[in-house]
Structure 1
Amino acid sequence: MQNGKAWTGQLAQGSNGLYETYEKALALERKGAKIAKLNVGEPDWGPPLEAIRAAENAIAGGKTKYGSAQGELSLREKIAELHGGRAENIVITPGSKWGIYALMKTCLSRGDNVVAFSPHWSAYELMAKSFGAEFRAIGLEMGKKWATDLGGLENAVDAGTKLLVLNSPANPTSKAFSEKEENAVIGFAESRGITVIADDAYRGIAFEKMGERQFRNSGGVFVANTFSKTFGMTGWRIGYVVVPEAKAKELVSLNQITFTNVPVFIQACAEKAIEYGETAAREARKKCVLRAEAAAKILSGHLEFTRPDAGFYLFPRLPEGSDTLKFLDTMLGMGYAMVPGAAFGDFGRHFRMSLCLEKETIEAACGAVVETLEELE
């Protein structure tokens, strides 16, 4: 692992505006500015009231002590039912971000490499590099509707490739790979002995039913998921991974020497939320579809973009010759924070716009985008 100075310096350079934009927006808010934070995938809804009450009851009942580093058995059993597995295969984590980080930490050595389709969430790259591994991005094309590129994948891997991160629906494109695409990628990885980390953060809010992935009993696919998106539990910090039992034991050991356990009362909230999962997902999808349609109606004819297959993002491309940072600074000055495309790979003309605020705010933001484009022409 790199030393602290090297790592923090790399973080500052590697996020390319993702986290910096958030801090800049917060700084403006502290000065009294009203900022619509379209730079973050944070829903404007929260968990079901019954789930919040479950957390309150757990606190009142004294569930505020140390708990299992693997997670409460009753919660793990409910998650296992969703995935057709066993509670022993589930490890509760403080968000799926930690789950992915922990999987990389326990799978990678210095000199290994990790591959992922791009545009990609910059945290994958930063995590891999923090362990001395190389990150290899396989660029996809908007003109091909961000379809997977098996040829590019084959060219990117070698004997040192240990992990492939598969994020579908994807951040920042909101592209959901087809069942055929996902299984082709998984099959290729398995044929090369490469472990797949399936980042399923947005799978619950896909607009259409996702296909079945053919990896049951393979042990070569690790699933990471979160309660943050579908249930709007971003600040509760709870997620989980589904892994073979041997890997689960490794992760439990890591949990024991780091954060110990996700607070038990937070797990109580998550457990109750699962009971309302179908309703919560349906309501979340309904909001995201309406917002995506509203944004597309205003931006069509002004920007190139693909329509999202899920919440939460649009990833439009600015006209050739545009100064993306100048455009985004202008938008921030108008009260709308968005993220430069360079934060997600070699996509400097793009920007990511979250659809996580009310429809009226999305419409106003899109109107401001069109106005700014006309002024900068």
Structure 2
Amino acid sequence: MKTSSRIAQLKPSATLAVNAKALELKAQGKEIISLAVGEPDFPTPDYVRDACKRALDDGFTRYGAVPGLPELRSAVANYFNLMYGTSASAEHTMITNGGKQALFNLLQSLINPGDEVIIPAPYWVSYPPMVQLAEGEPVAVAASAEAGFKVTVDQLEAARTEKTAVLMLNSPSNPTGAAYSREEIDAIAEWAISHDLFIISDEIYDQLVYAPAEHASLAPWWEKYPEQVCIVNGLAKSFAMTGWRIGYVLAHVDLIKAMSKIQGQSTSNVCSFAQKGAVAALSGGFDVVDTMRASFRKRRDLAMSIIGKWPNVVCPVPQGAFYLFPDVHRLYNETYPDSAAMCTYLLEEAGVALVPGAAFGDDNCIRISYAVDEKTLEESLNKIARILFG
């Protein structure tokens, strides 16, 4: 069957491929533990689920406004105002089917054919394909493990051309957990603004930053330069609401209108009763988030205490999110010469599912999620160590 050229250029999701292989081995009766999923293992808070149930019982199941439920858009604006000192109103926000649709809508609204989008690498797997679907050109700027997986202004400037239109930032990062400091973010933002670039800041992990580090949001820069900055966020990671598909955007009113056109012709409104749960999440306090953050930090420290002893492996301490991204290329050999082969080998021999770093733009590394309980995490990492080091 003949399909479009835009589909032909897209690569299948590496995370889905790993999951498919893991399911195949499970079907064969093998015990498989997954450290590949970027999903909190905590339940969605009761008060969020209760709000959704009430909405269903009240018959709140009809079509809604494309950019989102007004009270949820107001709650999102209030979130940015309280957390980051902005003066946003509901009209500056939009609700999307997860953060992924927010990013897709943004790129479709901002990119013209041939425009270049600078993407610091390692990057989330979907950034380059989304740029390609918008007929833009992704330009990766690599940061090594030794550099803490953070790019510098000099690196960004070296990648800039007359075709550069957008800078895509993600802090804390998936897959590395790296979080830029306020000084680093401000320097990058000042550079981008001075060159008339648009900044998309993906801050989906803003609530999962571990002290003494603090989240450095681009929200203050949006306040000063709303025509050049937007923020993407959502409830999947912070409130363990991955399946709810609630993302949101803080952007200029004109950009919100443009994105609404795209959403109106694709998915229309986000699930109505799920939005009621989202209102409860943003309005009900952050005690549950504090609890999850503390647990994730303990798991991070446990994982680092194990991986830190692995010879010839470099793994910067992640300051946020719930991923480790160790550089393991010094271990490559004929059996596993790259990250994909290593992950396949560890899946088959150790029964642990991981994601190859090549999917994130760095074939030297593998991604490990510590969004599992401490016992499972320790057992899995020890299994990996036995296979790799004997």
SS at match of 2:138: strand
Contact 2:99 2:234 in 1 (8 A): yes
- 1:246-325 → structure 2 map (5 Å cutoff): 246-302=254-310, 303-320=313-330, 322=332, 323=336, 324-325=339-340
Task: Determine if contact 1:112/1:162 at 8 Å carries over to the other structure.
Answer: yes
**What amino acid is the match of 2:32?**
I
In structure 2, what is the equivalent of residue 128 of structure 1? 131
Q: Which residue of 2 aligns with 1:218?
A: 225
* Separation in structure 2 between the aligned mates of residue 274 and residue 103 of structure 1, nearest angstrom: 23
Q: Call closer, same or farther: CA 1:277–1:173 in 2, change over 3 Å.
A: farther
Instruction: Identify which of 86, 93, 96 aligns with 2:96.
Output: 93
Q: Distance in 2 between matches of 1:155 and 1:179?
A: 22
1:69 corresponds in structure 2 to 66
| Distance 1:30-1:321 versus aligned 2 partners, 3 A rule | closer
Deviation at 1:309, TM superposition (A): 0.3
Q: Residues 62 and 127 from structure 1, CA distance in 2 versus in 1: closer, same or farther, beyond 3 angstroms?
A: same
**How much does 1:94 deviate?**
0.4
Cα shift at 1:79 = 0.8
Q: Counterpart of 1:327 in structure 2: which amino acid?
A: M
Return the alpha-carbon distance in structure 2 between the equivalents of residues 116 and 45 of structure 1.
31
Structure 2 regions of 5+ residues with no counterpart? 82-87
Measure how far apart 1:90 and its partner are: 0.6
CA drift at 1:152:
1.0
CA RMSD of aligned residues (A): 1.7
Quote how far apart the aligned CAs of 1:249 are.
Answer: 0.9
Pick from 78, 91, 96 the counterpart of residue 75 of structure 2.
78
Q: Secondary structure at the match of 2:224?
A: coil
Contact preservation (8 Å) 1:288, 1:310: no
| Partners of 1:289 and 1:311 within 8 A in 2 | no
Residue 9 of structure 2 aligns with which residue?
A: 10
| Alpha-carbon spacing, 1:319–1:251, altered in 2? closer, same or farther (3 Å) | closer
SS at match of 1:143: coil
What is the aligned partner in structure 1 of residue 56 from structure 2?
59
Q: Deviations over 1:347-372 (max 9, x none)?
A: 22210000111111110111011111
Q: How many angstroms apart in 1 are the aligned matches of 2:45 and 2:95?
A: 20
Q: Tell me, which stretches of 5 or more residues in structure 1 are unaligned?
A: none
Note if contact 1:202-1:230 (Cα within 8 Å) is conserved in structure 2: yes
> Structure 2: which amino acid aligns with 1:79?
V
Alignment of 1:365 with 2:380, yes or no, is: yes
Matches of 1:6 and 1:24, distance apart in 2? 28
Q: Distance in 2 between matches of 1:205 and 1:90?
A: 22
Could you list the per-position Cα deviations for residues 276-296 of structure 1 after superposition, in whole angstroms to 9, with x for gaps in the alignment?
A: 342122112111111111111
For residue 342 of structure 1, the aligned residue among 358, 363, 366 is: 358
When residues 203 and 258 of structure 1 are mapped into structure 2, their CA distance, relative to the original with a 3 A threshold, is same
**Alignment map for 1:12-51 (pairs within 5 Å):** 12=11, 15=13, 17-51=14-48
**8 Å CA contact 1:148, 1:177 repeated in 2:** no
Once residues 326 and 140 of structure 1 are traced to their aligned partners in structure 2, the CA distance between those partners, rounded to angstroms, is: 22
The residue that corresponds to 1:231 in the other structure is 239
Is 1:181 matched with 2:184? yes
State the Cα distance separating 1:22 from its structure 2 match: 2.5
CA distance in 2 between counterparts of 1:274 and 1:212 reads 18
Counterparts in 2 of 1:58 and 1:169: CA distance versus 1, 3 Å: same
| 1:299 Cα deviation after fit | 1.4
Percent of matched pairs sharing the same residue: 29
Aligned: 1:109 with 2:112: yes
Residue 335 of structure 1 aligns to which amino acid in structure 2? G
* 1:133-159 Cα deviation digits (max 9, x unpaired): 111111112112223311110011122
Shift of 1:335: 2.4
Q: Distance in 2 between matches of 1:51 and 1:31?
A: 38
Count of residues paired in the alignment: 370
